[in-house]
Amino acid sequence: MTTTTIAPSRRRLPVWGTVLAAALVVELMVFSLTNTHFFGGGAGMLSQIELFLPTGIVALGLAPVILTGAIDLSVGATASLSSVLVGVLILHHVNPVLAIGIALAVSTIIGLVNGLIITLFGIDSLLVTLATQFIASSLAVSVAGDNPPFGFPDMFLALGEGTVGPVPIALLIFLVIAALVMLLIGRTGFGRRIVLIGYNPSAARFTGVRVMRTFVGVFTMSGLVAGIAGIVLAAYFNAGRSDSGMSLLLPAITCVVLGGVDIFGGRGRIGEVVLAVLVLGYLTQGLLNSGVSSLTATMVTGLLLIVALVVKIAFERRSGESFLGTLRRRFAARTGGSPGVGRGAKGGSEKAAAEPRDPAHS
Amino acid sequence: MTHSKKYRRAGVTAAAMTALALALVGCSATGTSASANDSASKKGQEITVAIVPKLLGLPVFEANVKGAKQVASKLKEKIDYTASVKASGADQAQVIMGLVNSNNRPDVIAYSANDPTSIVPALNAATKAGIKVIGFDSDVTASARSYFIQDTSYPAMGQALIDAVAKKDGDTGSYAILSSTKDATVQNAWIDAMKSYAAKKYPNLRLADIAYGQSNQATSQSQATNLINSNPDLKALIPIDGAAVPGALAAVKSQGAVGKISVFGIGDPNPNKQYFEDGSLTGLFLWDEVKQGQLIAYLARGVADGTIKGATPTFTAGDLGSFTVSNDPAKGTIIFSKPLEFTKDNYSKYNF
């Protein structure tokens, strides 16, 4: 209880990733067998989750934030603002590339401001991003005006509905961002600092990690990625709408959590988040394709999330420990905590003491 | 890793897979027969019409579906009522993509869109798959569908509301409008119609202000309270969306203005029964949703058969009579009816 043992890092297959991959394979097989339009010669299957990709992209920006133990509620509104901005600019005959650049710059600034307020004033990320969410969505509404922009040139639309061979461009964008975030978290010092802060912010601070700088970096990145999601949204729907991004937030959080990222930070793999995006995206569309009502599909998503979280806790059982014991151990660590930067500070040192974990687990 | 741990882990994996398999059972329940989808005439054959309104469970849309089902057997139609749980364009797009990709593709999709653009890609995919696309109530970009049933003509609605205000409160003083959002297409068209009709017919009747309740009852109430307090000479409040009506009425009541400020709204009678009873609601305008549902079914049969196509100028829809296709305000628009006024005396005859 009082010793913090760090388990030796072993090369073994990530268990949760294997479960998700297996789930994905089963899902794709079942849908391909039961639905005549699902497989579509392989290529059709790739376009099935087009509608879900903006959510997936947002999840990729959100995952590092949640890894630090913080949360970013402003991503949906940032995506909306980005989609509206790019649309309005293009319709005002700004070069599409420049328009995308401006929209992404604004999104990045929103993320930067989030990070700065959180670290400089030491306010909980939940509250700060709740506030910036309102600001960003109001900005989006006012930029969109009475006639939200629609009807963009084909060159821009390709980002949302175009394909390279059989692969949708939006899917490529998603995969490229996924690869970059995966490298960032797994292979760089910045990534290790993110995980360490989430795992134990006090320890991170004592070992000389620049916690504030890392936080600002993570939130800036989240803003940028949300901005990219907004551009894909605008290109897919051929319209910029001030409410289009709002529906991305909760499914994106669902993907991150289903992807095994601890909602309190410090643990999770980006690869598993990518798998979770695919599992959830194909499940939703596959169920709808099978004539299941949207009501049932939403319910199944909720059930799946609960089942997944319970199963995941079961995996974390130590030998000889009862299931309820695992639950108690995990949640005992959440009570109390020292004030500090963001949500990352919550549970602080008690968490690490109560729950020795493998920091190399990401 | 000990043996027991290994087995347990395997057990948990198995449990997870079982759970997922169970979750997927729902899908295998549907049949595997693929329906042939060509764009040829379906004359004489049974067709499936999917009605996809903005969201599930709204009484007005249930009334549409009820109307469509009343004439479905006569028209050899199967009505499939499906929609998303939330009023969201993206969710609606997913539902429509689900229909396009399903084993039993519908022959006709009739939508009421949450916004003018979000479902356009999905509707285009439907058209590409040989499904006929028609709209009702709320439209999208005209290129994504064949015909659109507009509830009522915008000028007629504006005229009805302004005439009602002038008749009740005289043609001087001011009125205020409570709408949903700044970019709501239909609401904006009504507002424009009211403005231009009032300016022409009652030059002394002044539009004090327009407020937006964001389709939210609480926001509508606070916006309506602002309107009442900042315009002391306000004679009438015109809430023109489903959440604005109860919001405006709550504001009028809490400000003690019942009887002083009359409320003429656009909305369905059922949720507003109590306001008719307590006298706070002066009048409500809409159209007969059940009959509109019947028109959806007739139009669906027509486009599936190919009897209504291109620039067909008029067509007959059974007992409903004859309808004209016009290009105003958009290509392929069919105006369903004149506004129907609900008052304290007649609201109980309608059940939606």
Residue A25, CA atoms < 13 Å, CB-side half-sphere? 7
Higher pLDDT, B144 or A352: B144
Report pLDDT for A154.
Answer: 92
Partner B contacted by A291 (CB < 8 A)? yes
- Measured CA to CA in angstroms, residue A340 lies from A217, B197, B247 at distances of 18, 61, 42
- Alpha carbon B232 to its chain's center: 34
Q: What is the pLDDT of residue B112?
A: 96
b (16+ CB within 10 A) / e for A79-88? bbbbbbbbbb
Report H helices in A92-168. 96-121, 125-144, 154-161
Question: Rounded distance, CA A76 to CA B90, Å?
Answer: 13
Q: Which is more confidently placed, A21 or A313?
A: A21
pLDDT at B306: 92
Report DSSP letters for A245-312, one per residue.
TGGGHHHHHHHHHHTT--TTSS---HHHHHHHHHHHHHHHHHHHHTT--HHHHHHHHHHHHHHHHHHH
Say if the Cβ atoms of B16 and A311 lie within 8 Å. Answer: yes
Say if CB A64 and CB A185 are below 8 A apart.
Answer: yes
Say which residue, A166 or B72, is predicted with more confidence.
B72
**Structural tokens at position A247:** 């529906």
Residues from chain A that touch B24, judged by Cβ atoms under 8 A, are 26-27, 30
Q: How far apart are the first and last CA of chain B?
A: 65
Q: What is the ipTM, given to two decimal places?
A: 0.79
Percent of chain B that is helix, strand, coil (3-state, to 5): 45, 20, 35
Q: What is the dihedral of CA A154, A104, A171, A234, to 10 degrees?
A: -40
Residues of chain B with Cβ-Cβ distance to A304 below 8 Å are 19-20, 23
Write down the pLDDT at residue A324: 75
Whether the predicted pLDDT of A292 surpasses 90: no
pLDDT at residue number A98? 97
> How much is the pLDDT for A5?
45
Residue of chain A whose Cα is closest to the Cα of B83: A294
How would you classify the pairing of strands A167-168 and A163-164?
antiparallel
Q: Give the pLDDT of residue A247.
A: 87
pLDDT band, residue A349 (cuts 50/70/90): very low
Q: How far apart are CA B117 and CA B113, in angstroms?
A: 8
Cβ pairs bridging A and B (under 8 Å): 163
User: Which residues 219-248 on chain A approach chain B with CB closer than 8 angstroms?
Assistant: 236-239, 241-244, 247
| pLDDT tens digits along A170-227 | 999 999 999 999 999 999 999 999 999 999 989 999 998 999 999 999 999 999 999 9
Residues B316 and B321: their CA atoms lie apart, in Å, by 5
pLDDT-derived band at A12, boundaries 50, 70, 90: low
pLDDT at A357 over 90: no
Q: Say what the pLDDT of residue A11 is.
A: 53
Residue A287 to residue B9, Cβ atoms within 8 A: no
Please, how many CA atoms are within 13 Å of residue A17, restricted to the half-sphere of its CB? Answer: 12
Q: Which residue of A has its CA nearest to B16?
A: A311
pLDDT reading at A142 higher than 60: yes
Strands B47-52 and B340-342: unpaired
pLDDT above 90 (res A87)? yes
Question: pLDDT value at position A351?
Answer: 42
Pairing verdict, β B322-326 and B314-316: antiparallel
pLDDT for A3 equals 44
CB contact under 8 A, A238 and B30: no
What pTM does this model have? Answer: 0.81
Query: Which chain A residue has the Cα nearest residue B82?
Result: A293
Q: How far is CA A252 from the centre of its chain?
A: 5
Q: Is B337 in a helix, a strand, or coil?
A: strand
Residues 6+ apart with CB under 8 A from B318: B71, B74, B294, B298
pLDDT means over runs of 10, chain B (352 residues) = 52 54 43 43 91 91 95 96 90 94 94 92 95 95 94 94 94 94 87 96 95 92 96 94 93 93 93 91 94 97 92 88 91 94 91 84
Integer Cα distance of B80 and B95 in angstroms: 12
Share of residues in chain A with pLDDT > 90 (%) = 62
